[in-house]
Amino acid sequence: MTEEDRSRIRELKVRELNYALYLFFSNKLVAAGTVIVLLFIGLAIFGRLVVGSSEPYKLDLKNAIKPPSSEHPFGTDDLGRDILRLVVLGAGYDMAVSIFVVTASSTIGMVLGAVSGYLGGKFDEAFMRFVDILFAFPGLILAMAVSMILGKSLFNLAISLISVWWTGYARLMRGQVLAEKEKLYVRAVKSLGLPGYRVLFKHILPNAIYPLLVSATMDIGGVMLSAAGLSFIGLGPTPFEPEWGSLVNRGAPYLFVAPWVMFFPGLMILLASLGFNLVGDGLRDILDPRLRR
Amino acid sequence: MKLYEYVIRRLTLLIFVLVGVTLLTFFFSRVLLDPLAAYVTERTNPRMIPAIRRMHGLDRPIWEQYFFYLRDLFTLDLGWSKVGHMDMIDAIAAHFPATAELTILAIIITLIVGIPLGIVSALKNNQLADHASRIFSLIGISIPVFWLGLSLQYFFTYWVKAAYGIPALPSTGRYDAVLAINTGFKKITGFILLDALIQGNLVMAGDALAHLILPAITLAFLNIGVITRLTRSSMLEVLRQDYITMAKSYGLPQRLIIYKYALKNALIPVVSVTGLMFGGLLGGAIMTESIFAFPGMGWLSYRAIVYNDSNTVLAYVAITAIIYVIVNLIVDIFYAWLDPRIKY
Amino acid sequence: MSNVLEVKDLRVEFRTYRGTVKALNGVSFTVEKGEVLGLAGETGSGKSVTGLAIQRLLPSNATVAEGMVMFDGRDLLKLSEEEMNKIRGKEMVAIFQDPHTYLNPVFRMQNQFADILRTKDEELNPIKDKREVEKVIRNKMIQMLREVQMPAPERAIKMYPHELSGGMKQRMMLAMAFSLRPKLVIADEPTTALDVTIQAQVLELMRSLQKKYGTSVILITHDLGVIAETCGRIAVMYAGRIVEMGKVDFVYSEPLHPYTQGLMRALPRADKDVKVEGIGGSVPDLVDLPKGCPFHLRCTHAMEICSRANPRTLNVDGRIVECHLYDERIVKEGVG
């Protein structure tokens, strides 16, 4: 490949990227979604600074269960804490859990699936049977079981979700690797005598990883809902970890008396998840080859 | 391969998967957790414990324990449910019909609302109706089930009455027991709505429906979004196909083309997704039933989590897995029947 | 002889992301009763678009900018969709190239075939009894299948499309097409997807059916051999225009238009010992057509005027040609 070829390829890639970005942002819904996501990420990272890290937890029983007012725009909960501040702090927890779970499970799934697909044979057979068995359990249910076994904590909640979600990525990756394995460039590289793991990780993976990345991005919203759900059932945080799901849980007993306690944290979950789903939707639209051009 | 051969093949596969499921649940309940917890309560005489251990093979090596576990499963000796206050198997029998009724109703609602919405979106592609349904679907898949349930509960069982004086829906429970006695209602199948209709007891049927409707909508909401989108994209894909052009070139009536030629093809992916949705419904039932105090397995599991009754939780896990596998088997067979191109 | 179809100055455009594709730029021809007209051209010449335009089956991003399509005394382009639908299937029918994708995969053949007869066959109208109607339909289907020499028609009709071979599927298409005795059949590459031996059979079949029922056929294909065997007249298309049209024997033995000459030279001949030659250059971009004659950039006889003005449609000894070479005015005035 000459230098000229290389620069031409770079040029084409840049044009592809520009076109993709154009498509992406020309869709109003997607643009809105990106804004929302960025807002929430900002909230997660900087919220602590604005709201203070211990302030929100101060008990103030005199002020308990007060409806939304100018002083407490989201009202107060049963311990007299300002819900708006709790929600802002909670952003960090929800975002962290979702992104952590998606990253970890996609990485694990990617590696295991790729190895299984590449090795093939008995190992692959056995591995896929194992994955099939895991798939026999509905996701949330299995996560619940794992969570019960590990013990109720936010971290264990994340682990239990990871232990369920990796299977999807493993299957996806395995399928991709199987398809790529047969291609000419793989045989070419193998004939050069490269060791298996290099062929897999340096050559096959970069080509096969594309759909996985898309899938992972689109999953963040779903993982957030699952995490909040498990948290709502009581499998996650302590009262000092204002994850949104558990906040809704705390508000549930007061539903008819003080609906705002459960309403606003839940609304946040909805908005954050919506943002991610909008972005994921836009991503899928760009990548649909028929809609291109 | 003929259809019945395919069915046989899938059934054998099913057995294999079920074995795997039992292995996993065995691993959870006997290895990772304290196996005695299922069979010992506070009231058990401590001197009985060694005998209990022997009976369930808890003093044997692990691989032998598995067979004891299987035996227990088959004889339906699943231990005691702390939160159910009765034998596990009885607790399941008492609570399962409610969940079944709820999930089946949820699926019916999902399909009855989602599929037509999807068809309309496809036909009015890129017009207002389409954009509206797209936003509706997106919100649907972003809504937390429990938040939706609580909101619906607040609104329809309290607020409509408080604000407008409209009679509200019941907020909890499955049916009005007093009403049942007064109208001479008898349980036949365990499905209250069905039983009421069979007996011609419309008052009771209405009551059952009133109790079912909010939780069912809560469960269905997310899936309606999914089905609508899927039907829409599937329909659009099908309408682009050559055989539709061919049908048009013969001047076949529009209705025939859409509702017979296109729809049958378009519904194929919808069928497989419906099976997968079932698993999500069983999971969502835990949250929904707890919010509406709907006395099903989900509600029982929720209490089991609160009171750390792992045995009950695992029982629910095992049951849902088995049901999920069977439902997907039925879906697969139906799918194979629907699409004659599938090579078995 | 009366004309079944008369196309006048048809112009069709497509809106695409790259701009407006001028697919048809003034296509005019007639089809007489009972004749088989071949519409020949390379990919992109506009031959398929012509077929679709006549049937009003163009995709949504296409517009008919100008033109008339007279069928049975009416301009098809001016009809409402309802009126057009009455004509489709009954008086005008299409046969497509790849029967595999053009038949609905989830319905048995008898289902699809019967639907056509049930909705369009007027002979069924007087019959009131539903069961009687189904019996008549079934008989008609079996009989039609026998006419197309379908082996074991009773079994074939119960099958799904993917269970039939390519040849059988095409016979099925022919059976369905001729079942309503249409006045015009538009066949778009009917044999391209078939083996050569089956090709011959299917063409033979089409010919005999056409003769028997007096149906006119427009045969759209890039295969000049197929046209030579089946058609009486040929219209050669290039870049959305008909550059030459006339009786097959004459056009093949003495092609007038340089493009047609190039096509004939590109055919391998078993009877003459001549080299096969391609035509240099490539088909023009239909979004950005060159000024003047669309072929002039590849034409070995190009003159100066060819790059400036579009040739007129000329009638040379009963043949239609669009080429400046035959324009007496130009030749006389020595322009070029």
Cα dist. C155→C42, C102, C161 in Å?
A: 39, 21, 12
B242, B251, B261 member nearest C96 (Cβ): B242
Residue C333's pLDDT band, with cuts at 50, 70 and 90, is low
Contacts for C248 with CB less than 8 Å, ≥ 6 apart: C38, C227, C228, C231, C232, C233, C234
- The reply to whether residue A29 touches residue B138, judged by beta carbons under 8 angstroms, is yes
Average confidence (pLDDT) over A211-226: 86
The whole-number pLDDT of residue B104 equals 92
Structure tokens of B207?
Answer: 């009551």
Rounded CA-CA distance A98/A161 in Å is 9
Comparing A133-142, A243-252, C281-290, which segment has the lowest mean pLDDT? C281-290
The whole-number pLDDT of residue C217 equals 92
**Chain C contact for B189 (CB, 8 A cutoff):** no
Q: Tell whether the model's pLDDT for residue C335 goes beyond 70.
A: no
Rounded CA-CA distance C309/C305 in Å is 6
Average confidence (pLDDT) over A158-177: 89
- The DSSP H or E segment spanning A186 is helix A184-191
Residue A12's pLDDT band, with cuts at 50, 70 and 90, is confident
The whole-number pLDDT of residue A293 equals 34
Q: Checking phi first, is residue C100 left (phi over 0); if not, alpha (psi -120 to 50) or beta?
A: alpha
Partners of residue C162 in chain B, C-beta under 8 Å:
340-341
- Tell me the pLDDT of chain A averaged across its residues: 82
From the number of C-beta atoms within 10 Å of its C-beta (0-12, 13-18, 19+), residue C265 rates as middle
A134, A145, A262 member nearest B313 (Cβ): A145
Q: Tell whether the model's pLDDT for residue C296 goes beyond 70.
A: yes
Contacts for B258 with CB less than 8 Å, ≥ 6 apart: B119, B123, B239
Q: Tell whether the model's pLDDT for residue B344 goes beyond 60.
A: no
Cα dist. B72→B38, B52, B330, C53 in Å?
A: 12, 13, 27, 72
Nearest Cα of chain A lies from the Cα of B202 at a distance, in angstroms, of 30
Contacts for B50 with CB less than 8 Å, ≥ 6 apart: none
B20, B150, B282 member nearest A138 (Cβ): B282
Partners of residue C89 in chain B, C-beta under 8 Å:
249-252
Rounded CA-CA distance C176/C297 in Å is 44
Average confidence (pLDDT) over B245-265: 88
Three-state SS at B282: helix
The whole-number pLDDT of residue C240 equals 86
Higher pLDDT, B80 or C236: C236
Structure tokens of B61?
Answer: 């090596």
Half-sphere exposure of B344 (CA within 13 A, CB side): 17
- Look up the ipTM and state it: 0.84
**Chain C contact for B46 (CB, 8 A cutoff):** no
Residue A286 dihedral angles phi and psi, to the nearest 5°: -65, -40
Partners of residue B151 in chain A, C-beta under 8 Å:
263, 266
Chain B residue closest to C95 (CA)?
B246
The whole-number pLDDT of residue C336 equals 44
Residue A292's pLDDT band, with cuts at 50, 70 and 90, is very low
Q: Tell whether the model's pLDDT for residue A105 goes beyond 90.
A: yes
Question: For B76-119, how does the pLDDT look when each residue is reduced to its tens digit (9 = 90+)?
Answer: 777 777 777 888 888 888 888 889 999 999 999 999 999 999 99
- The reply to whether residue B252 touches residue C90, judged by beta carbons under 8 angstroms, is no
- The reply to whether residue B340 touches residue C176, judged by beta carbons under 8 angstroms, is no
The whole-number pLDDT of residue A147 equals 86
Residue A220 dihedral angles phi and psi, to the nearest 5°: -55, -45
Partners of residue B261 in chain C, C-beta under 8 Å:
104, 107
- The reply to whether residue A248 touches residue B145, judged by beta carbons under 8 angstroms, is no
The whole-number pLDDT of residue A290 equals 47
- The reply to whether residue C85 touches residue B340, judged by beta carbons under 8 angstroms, is no
The whole-model pTM stands at 0.81
The whole-number pLDDT of residue B53 equals 78
Cβ A133 vs Cβ B21: under 8 Å: yes
- Classify strands C216-221 and C36-40 as parallel, antiparallel or unpaired: parallel
Cβ C232 vs Cβ C218: under 8 Å: no
Question: For A254-268, how does the pLDDT look when each residue is reduced to its tens digit (9 = 90+)?
Answer: 888 888 888 888 999
The whole-number pLDDT of residue C57 equals 87
- Tell me the pLDDT of chain B averaged across its residues: 84
Which neighbouring-strand residues pair with C273?
none
The whole-number pLDDT of residue A125 equals 85
Higher pLDDT, A290 or B167: B167
Structure tokens of B19?
Answer: 């074995």
Partners of residue B246 in chain C, C-beta under 8 Å:
94, 96, 102-104
| Size of the A and B interface in Cβ pairs below 8 Å | 140
| Size of the B and C interface in Cβ pairs below 8 Å | 70
- The reply to whether residue B245 touches residue C57, judged by beta carbons under 8 angstroms, is yes
A contact chains, 3+ CB pairs < 8 A: B
Rounded CA-CA distance A89/A50 in Å is 9
C contact chains, 3+ CB pairs < 8 A: B
Cβ C140 vs Cβ C179: under 8 Å: yes
Stretch 150-189 of chain B: residues touching chain A, C-beta under 8 Å:
150-151, 153-154, 158
**Chain B contact for C87 (CB, 8 A cutoff):** yes
Partners of residue B1 in chain C, C-beta under 8 Å:
none
The whole-number pLDDT of residue C47 equals 87
Rounded CA-CA distance A157/A91 in Å is 17
**Chain C contact for B246 (CB, 8 A cutoff):** yes
**Strand ordering across the sheet containing C74-75:** C19-32, C3-16, C62-71, C74-75
In sequence order, which ranges of chain C are alpha helices (DSSP H)?
47-55, 81-87, 99-102, 109-120, 130-147, 153-156, 166-178, 196-213, 224-230, 248-253, 258-265, 328-333
- The DSSP H or E segment spanning B306 is helix B297-306
SS3 content of chain C, % helix, strand, coil (to 5): 40, 25, 35
Q: Tell whether the model's pLDDT for residue B342 goes beyond 90.
A: no
- The reply to whether residue B265 touches residue C57, judged by beta carbons under 8 angstroms, is no
Stretch 15-44 of chain B: residues touching chain A, C-beta under 8 Å:
16-17, 20-21, 23-24, 28, 32-33
- The reply to whether residue B147 touches residue A129, judged by beta carbons under 8 angstroms, is no
The whole-number pLDDT of residue A209 equals 79
> Nearest to residue A117, comparing CAs of A24, A7, A50, A212?
A212
Cβ C108 vs Cβ C88: under 8 Å: no
The whole-number pLDDT of residue A223 equals 92
Question: Dihedral sign, CA of A119, A121, A125, A126?
Answer: negative
**Chain B contact for C150 (CB, 8 A cutoff):** no
- The reply to whether residue B282 touches residue A132, judged by beta carbons under 8 angstroms, is no
**Chain C contact for B265 (CB, 8 A cutoff):** yes
Comparing A113-117, B109-113, B301-305, C288-292, which segment has the lowest mean pLDDT? C288-292
The whole-number pLDDT of residue B221 equals 92
Partners of residue A234 in chain B, C-beta under 8 Å:
302, 305-306
From the number of C-beta atoms within 10 Å of its C-beta (0-12, 13-18, 19+), residue A219 rates as buried
The whole-number pLDDT of residue B337 equals 76
Average confidence (pLDDT) over B48-61: 78
The whole-number pLDDT of residue A103 equals 93
Nearest Cα of chain B lies from the Cα of A147 at a distance, in angstroms, of 10
The whole-number pLDDT of residue A291 equals 44
**Strand ordering across the sheet containing C216-221:** C92-95, C184-188, C216-221, C36-40, C233-238, C241-247, C319-321, C314-316
B contact chains, 3+ CB pairs < 8 A: A, C
Q: Tell whether the model's pLDDT for residue C329 goes beyond 70.
A: no
Question: For C256-267, how does the pLDDT look when each residue is reduced to its tens digit (9 = 90+)?
Answer: 888 888 888 877
Half-sphere exposure of A293 (CA within 13 A, CB side): 7
Cα dist. C331→B164, C258, C305, C313, C335 in Å?
A: 92, 16, 11, 15, 7
Partners of residue B287 in chain A, C-beta under 8 Å:
229, 232-233
**Chain C contact for B116 (CB, 8 A cutoff):** no
Question: For B139-169, how does the pLDDT look when each residue is reduced to its tens digit (9 = 90+)?
Answer: 888 999 999 999 998 888 888 777 777 777 7
The whole-number pLDDT of residue C1 equals 52
Give CA B192 to chain center in angstroms: 17
Comparing A7-16, A108-117, B321-330, which segment has the lowest mean pLDDT? A7-16
Question: Dihedral sign, CA of A264, A268, A269, A273?
Answer: positive
The whole-number pLDDT of residue A55 equals 66
Residue C330's pLDDT band, with cuts at 50, 70 and 90, is low
Residue C37's pLDDT band, with cuts at 50, 70 and 90, is very high
The whole-number pLDDT of residue B22 equals 84
